Amino acid sequence: MTPTSSSLWSFLTTASNWSGANGIADRLVVHLWISLLAVGAAAVISIPLGIVVGGRERGQVAATGVANLGRAVPSLAVLAFVVAAGWGIGFVPTFIAMFALAVPPMFVSAATGVAEVDPGVLDVASGLGMTHSQVVRRVQVPLAVPLIISGVRIAMSQVIATATLGAFVGYNTLGRFITVGHANSDDGMLYGGVVLVVALAIVADVGFRMLQRSLTPWSRRRPRHHRGHRSRPSSGRIEIVDAARVAD
């Protein structure tokens, strides 16, 4: 075992490192809390707005513009701006920066998911007598659920990885292990913080993938092939019925 891996193992397995206000358990909870809060708040705004934009013409163009704008502003710059504006340090700048980071992927996924629903399916829905609001609620949104959840998953992974920056403004996230470990040349603490952040991001990613599979069981269906017969592609009407059943 190398000295670095030995110090990492010692850091993660020492009981005293897990207790107290600056212990692993406390900082893990704080890191997860700010991530969930920022993504949840961003989802409340970005997903409904993305659904509205995606239901209109050129919705994908607007979504792409928002995504490019969001990526152009680094989270560290948002942190610095909030602190310089006099909004304090700690929770507030960290939350605002993570909120700004979470909005673009969820907005884009919602807008794109709704906009890319097969026009033929929409025609069938209209032919069945559905109003525009019913088409959006009972057809477009259910069919866009996989992409919407994918956007939330991406946002959560990005926020968990970037919330480490909260350590620069005095917020007690897992990033404190990285900054303090680097300042004190403590490889165990430094790489321990990195491992914990990566592990948390992986757990969140797996959790959202499982959620996506449980909420979209129809996406895992496979047509049954019978010998001597060709499988027929599903019609727009069948997709409408499936989506409407899920929405109900």
Q: What is the pLDDT of residue 159?
A: 96
Q: What does pTM read for this prediction?
A: 0.83
Give the Cα separation of 83 and 143 in Å (integer): 41
Least confident of 8-12, 40-44, 75-79, 211-215: 211-215
pLDDT digits (tens, 9 = 90+) for 16-56: 999 988 899 999 999 999 999 999 999 999 999 888 888 77
Mean pLDDT across the stretch 182-201? 94
- What is the structure's pLDDT at 197? 96
In the chain, what is the straight-line distance between the N-terminal and C-terminal CA atoms, in Å? 57
Q: What is the pLDDT of residue 57?
A: 60
pLDDT of residue 60: 63
pLDDT at 216: 72
Hey, what amino acid is at 20? G
pLDDT for 156 equals 96
Number of residues assigned to the chain:
248
Q: Give, to the nearest 10 degrees, the angle between helix 91-115 and helix 75-84.
A: 140
Identify whether the C-beta of residue 79 lies closer than 8 Å to the C-beta of residue 164.
no
- How is the chain split into domains, by residue range? 21-116+145-216
Q: CB–CB of 169/94 below 8 Å?
A: yes
Q: Is 20 left (phi over 0), alpha (psi -120 to 50) or beta?
A: left
What confidence tens digit (pLDDT) does each residue in 204-235 have? 999 988 988 887 766 665 555 544 444 444 44
Q: Mean pLDDT throughout 113-142? A: 81
Looking at the chain, the whole-number percentage of residues with pLDDT higher than 90 is: 48
pLDDT, mean of residues 152-168: 95
Q: Looking at domain 21-116+145-216, which of 2.102.10.10, 1.10.3720.10, 3.40.190.290, 3.90.226.10 is its CATH number?
A: 1.10.3720.10
Predicted local confidence at residue 59, as pLDDT: 58
Tally of helices (H runs) and strands (E runs) in the chain: 11, 0
